[in-house]
């Protein structure tokens, strides 16, 4: 028999007979790791523990605690779910069941849609399958054999998948009476699953095509320990409490109306206050950084979008409007408008960099099925800026924009983030040479600042590579944050020039950047990050004054008038309700401070203060309270 050399553990080399299986090597490793192994890695290739090893190389064990192992663990759980569904509903057809971030799903073709109550029934059957500890075994068939097998099973979706595979053989995984098409690897047996939970039901089109069959998708999650599952489910509960789609309307921050159509946002008074705070902050900070404010129209001629390339590369997201037999476009971007302002006069190298900033409202067509509260809408406002600079200024201006983005995110309480460099997509404009230049400029800027970043291949915009800053909120969830894009292409397509120091006309380079991204999405992010309990400087209503009875209303209004002169945002609650009820309501509305006034406060010319975080804080003079508010606002805590 052929001998193969394997490098195990801490560089230990040993010879084994060819065909030895991963599970037979477990004794060669530390007992604790071996016990929790779910797969092996041979020369960077993941394999089932049951796969015979035919070649030598470096072997390492993969546990469910490893990212790759957790993926295998969850994928195996999705197969168990599919088996449970088939056991309970034999007429259901199975399709695909991949892993996703934090869990898995499986899509089923079921005549009568699942209802939430059925999840418990499916979970019960899954637990029985796990208890049976069924071996999960891999077998390899030719495409013809696999097609015959699934045709006999009546699983037409599997047949379609196999027909699209460009290989002579396919692998199937069998556990008890259930066999699934899959590349693997998988756990050695169903009994390895320790903790799982089915989460929700949703609809999904077969292969994401709305012209094809609507399927039933069941989402779930799984963890190697019950503690891990418990912690994750707690996070989900917290996330549900913070859902901006519920909190936003409940706190009076935004509305949507069926009569107005999906994906368009209305801001009632408190939402308008929050929006104004964000806008005023951005205007101040941009003026400090040397940006010039501009305003561009919402409706622009179609020819402009042909020049920019949007009509060819972004058409499906654009709204076209006929006007007097001419085609106009509701702007999906602000950049062509800023380009026209730049081009409106001769620019000198002494003027550069020129930085145009706009609170620009744009319109993008999104299918109704993907609209999501404030996060995915059809009309939104960007804190959009375009920097026109010389090539030798490019690295510095990218770096300035990046630092500005970090400052802004820190101010709003986002200190945990990571950075991606998104590179040339499949469809793009311009030459490979200028794409390379733009990408190198971004790399130089990030590396000069010693910023760690990951490459996101093919995710740049059609006119240039970009920096994406991904924020993590108070629950560790990720949000799309600031973006900075480097563009050699639009200046060329619009023939932008500046008079250089050598007396010749040169082409500027353009940096597109948005720090919030969109006000709508950033507002949704803020609502969920803070759970609606905004810090004082952001709170639309900072103080609510509660007179105990009607005879205390005049004094309450006097206190309110004085606070208002200092710019404090407040309401005086004059309703004929019990004080306890008013306090509870203010707490539900997440008001940072309450002032309660009655006989005692009037007699001593004081106020009684309750805070959202600490509750009753006792009596104090109004001037001291105002000082406290100003200090808290100044610190933006």
pLDDT tens-digit series, residues 68-114? 999 999 999 999 999 999 999 999 999 999 999 899 999 999 999 99
* Residue 1, pLDDT score: 66
In this model, does residue 513 exceed pLDDT 90?
yes
For residues 529, 533, 538, 541, the Cα torsion angle rounded to the nearest 10 degrees is: 150
Q: Which CATH number do you get for residue 216?
A: 3.30.980.10
Do residue 588 and residue 483 come from a single domain?
Answer: no
Phi, psi of 172 (to 5 degrees): -125, 150
The pLDDT of 572-601, averaged and rounded, is 95
Mean pLDDT along residues 613-629: 93
Residue 213, judged by CB atoms within 10 A of its CB (0-12, 13-18, 19+), counts as: middle
Helical (H) or strand (E) element with 356? strand 354-363
Question: Do 164 and 31 share a structural domain?
Answer: no
Please give, one letter per residue, the 3-state secondary structure of 458-523. CCCECCECEEEEEEECCCCCEEEEEEEEEECHHHHHCCCCEECCCCCEECCEEEEEECCCCHHHHH
CATH code where residue 583 lies: 3.40.50.800
Mean pLDDT of 495-513: 94
Region 292-313 average pLDDT:
93
pLDDT value of position 270:
97
Cα dihedral: 329, 331, 332, 334 (round 10): 150
Looking at 528, 553, 579, which one is the last position of a domain? 528
Mean pLDDT over residues 131-141, rounded? 94
Res 588 pLDDT > 70: yes
Q: What is the pLDDT of residue 412?
A: 94
Looking at the structure, do residues 83 and 35 belong to the same domain, yes or no?
Answer: no
Domain tally, the chain: 4
323, part of any domain: no
> Domain containing 41 — which CATH number?
3.10.20.30
| Residue 272 CB partners (closer than 8 Å, separation 6+) | none
Does residue 243 fall inside a structural domain?
no
The pLDDT of residue 53 is: 87
Q: What is the DSSP letter of 594?
A: E
CA angle 518, 524, 527 (to 5 degrees): 135
Q: Which 3-state string (H, E, C) describes 526-576?
A: HHHHHCCCCCCCCCCCCEEEEECCHHHHHHHHHHHHHHHHCCCCEEECCCC
Contact of 485 with 448, CB cutoff 8 Å: no
Euclidean distance between the first and final Cα of the chain, in Å?
71
Q: What is the pLDDT confidence band of residue 418, given thresholds at 50, 70 and 90?
A: very high
Say yes or no: 37 and 108 in one domain.
Answer: no
Spatial distance between the Cα atoms of 621 and 631, rounded to a whole number of angstroms: 16
Instruction: Say if residue 297's pLDDT is above 90.
Output: yes
Is 70 exceeded by the pLDDT of residue 247? Answer: yes
pLDDT at 50: 87
Residue at 47 is within a domain: yes
Q: What is the pLDDT of residue 319?
A: 95
Contact 44, 160 (CB under 8 A): no
Active site residues: 335, 364, 382, 384, 386, 466, 512
pLDDT digits (tens, 9 = 90+) for 532-576: 999 999 999 999 999 999 999 999 999 999 999 999 999 999 999
Q: Are residues 430 and 577 in the same domain?
A: no
- Give the CA angle between residues 456, 319, 269 to the nearest 5°: 85
Q: Are 42 and 170 in a shared domain?
A: no
Which pLDDT score is estimated for 7? Answer: 82
- Band the pLDDT of 403: cuts 50, 70, 90: very high
With a pLDDT cut of 70, the percent of the chain lying above it is 100
Tell me whether residue 247 is in a domain: no
Residue 126 is assigned to a structural domain of this protein: yes
List the alpha helices (DSSP H) in 566-621.
Answer: 579-588, 599-604
Mean pLDDT of the chain: 93
Dihedral angle over CA of 407, 462, 327, 377, nearest 10? -50
Whether pLDDT at 369 is above 90: no
Confidence of residue 608 (pLDDT cuts 50, 70, 90): very high
Q: Are residues 44 and 101 in the same domain?
A: no
Q: What CATH number is associated with residue 279?
A: 3.30.930.10
- 5-37: pLDDT as tens digits: 888 876 778 888 888 888 888 877 877 788 888
Please check the confidence at residue 629 and state whether its pLDDT lies above 90: yes
| Nearest residue to 595 (alpha-carbon basis) of 604, 585, 606, 584 | 606
Q: What angle do CA 98, 102, 107 make, to 5 degrees?
A: 30
Q: What's the pLDDT score for residue 121?
A: 96
Residue 461 pLDDT greater than 90, yes or no: no
278 and 395 assigned to the same domain: yes
Residue 602 within a domain:
yes
Do residues 404 and 508 both lie within one domain? Answer: yes
CB contact at 8 A, 532 and 251? yes
Range of the domain at 32: 3-63
Confidence at residue 343, expressed as pLDDT on a 0 to 100 scale: 95
Report d(CA 311, CA 365) in Å as an integer. 13
User: Would residue 320 count as lying in a domain?
Assistant: no
Tokens coding 439: 């990408």
The residues that bridge with 454 in the sheet, in sequence order, are 420
3-state secondary structure of 65: coil
357/505 same-domain check: yes
Same domain, 406 and 463: yes
Clarify whether residues 355 and 482 are in a common domain.
yes
Please state which of the ranges 57-61, 71-75, 89-93, 371-375 shows the lowest mean pLDDT.
Answer: 57-61
Residue length, the chain?
637
Answer whether residue 374 is part of any domain. Answer: yes
Summarize the confidence of residues 443-470 as an average pLDDT.
91
């Amino acid at each position: 028999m052929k001998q193969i050399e394997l490098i195990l553990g801490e560089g230990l080399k040993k010879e084994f007979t060819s065909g030895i299986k991963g599970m037979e090597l477990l004794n060669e490793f530390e007992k604790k790791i071996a016990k929790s192994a779910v797969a092996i890695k041979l020369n960077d290739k993941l394999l089932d523990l049951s796969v015979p090893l035919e070649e030598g190389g470096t072997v390492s064990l993969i546990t469910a605690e490893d990212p790759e192992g957790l993926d295998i663990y969850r994928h195996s759980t999705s197969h168990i779910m599919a088996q449970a569904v088939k056991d309970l509903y034999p007429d259901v057809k199975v399709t695909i069941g991949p892993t996703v971030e934090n869990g898995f799903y499986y899509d089923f073709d079921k005549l009568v849609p699942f209802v939430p109550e059925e999840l418990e029934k499916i979970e019960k059957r899954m637990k029985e399958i796990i208890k049976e500890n069924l071996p999960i075994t891999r077998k390899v068939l030719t495409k013809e054999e696999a097609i015959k097998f699934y045709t006999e099973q009546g699983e037409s979706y599997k047949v379609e998948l196999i027909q699209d595979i460009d290989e002579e053989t396919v692998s199937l995984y069998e556990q008890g009476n259930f066999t699934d098409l899959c590349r693997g690897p998988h756990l050695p047996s169903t009994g390895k699953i320790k903790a799982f939970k089915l989460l929700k039901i949703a609809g999904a089109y077969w292969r994401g095509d709305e012209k094809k069959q609507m399927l039933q998708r069941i989402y779930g999650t799984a963890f190697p320990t019950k503690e891990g599952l418990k912690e994750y489910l707690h996070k989900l509960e917290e996330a549900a409490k913070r859902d901006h789609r519920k909190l936003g309307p409940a706190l009076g921050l935004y509305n949507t109306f069926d009569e107005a159509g999906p994906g368009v946002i209305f801001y009632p008074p408190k939402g308008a206050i929050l929006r104004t705070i964000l806008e005023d902050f951005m205007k101040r900070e941009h003026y400090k950084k040397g940006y010039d404010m501009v305003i561009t129209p919402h409706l622009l001629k179609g020819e402009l979008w042909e020049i920019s390339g949007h009509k060819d590369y972004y058409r499906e997201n654009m709204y076209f409007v006929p006007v007097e037999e001419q085609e106009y476009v509701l702007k999906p971007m602000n950049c062509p408008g800023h380009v026209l302002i730049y081009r409106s006069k001769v620019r000198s190298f002494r003027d550069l960099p020129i930085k145009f900033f706009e609170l620009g409202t744009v319109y993008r067509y999104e299918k109704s099925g993907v609209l999501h509260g404030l996060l995915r809408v059809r009309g939104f406002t960007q804190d959009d800026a375009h920097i026109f600079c010389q090539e030798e200024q490019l690295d510095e201006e990218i770096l300035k924009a990046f630092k500005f983005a970090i400052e802004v995110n820190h101010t709003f309480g986002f200190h945990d983030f990571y950075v991606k460099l998104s590179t040339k997509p499949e469809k793009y404009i311009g030459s490979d040479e200028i794409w390379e230049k733009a990408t190198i400029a971004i790399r130089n800027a990030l590396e000069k600042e010693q910023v760690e970043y990951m490459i996101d291949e093919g995710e740049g915009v059609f006119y240039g590579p970009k920096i994406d800053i991904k924020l993590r909120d108070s629950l560790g969830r990720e949000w799309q944050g600031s973006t900075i894009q480097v563009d050699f292409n639009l200046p060329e397509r619009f023939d932008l020039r500046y008079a250089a120091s050598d007396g010749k006309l040169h082409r500027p380079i353009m940096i597109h950047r948005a720090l919030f991204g969109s006000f709508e999405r950033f507002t949704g992010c803020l609502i969920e990050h803070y759970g609606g309990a905004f810090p004082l400087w952001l709170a639309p209503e900072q103080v609510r004054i509660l007179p105990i009875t009607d005879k205390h209303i005049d004094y309450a209004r006097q206190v309110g008038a004085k606070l208002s002169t200092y710019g404090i945002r407040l309401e005086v609650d004059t309703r004929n309700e019990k004080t306890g009820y008013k306090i509870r309501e203010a707490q539900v509305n997440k008001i940072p401070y309450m002032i309660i006034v009655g006989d005692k406060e009037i007699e001593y010319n004081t106020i009684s203060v309750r805070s959202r975080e600490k509750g009753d804080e006792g009596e104090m003079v109004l001037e001291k309270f105002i000082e406290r508010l100003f200090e808290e606002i100044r610190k933006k805590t």
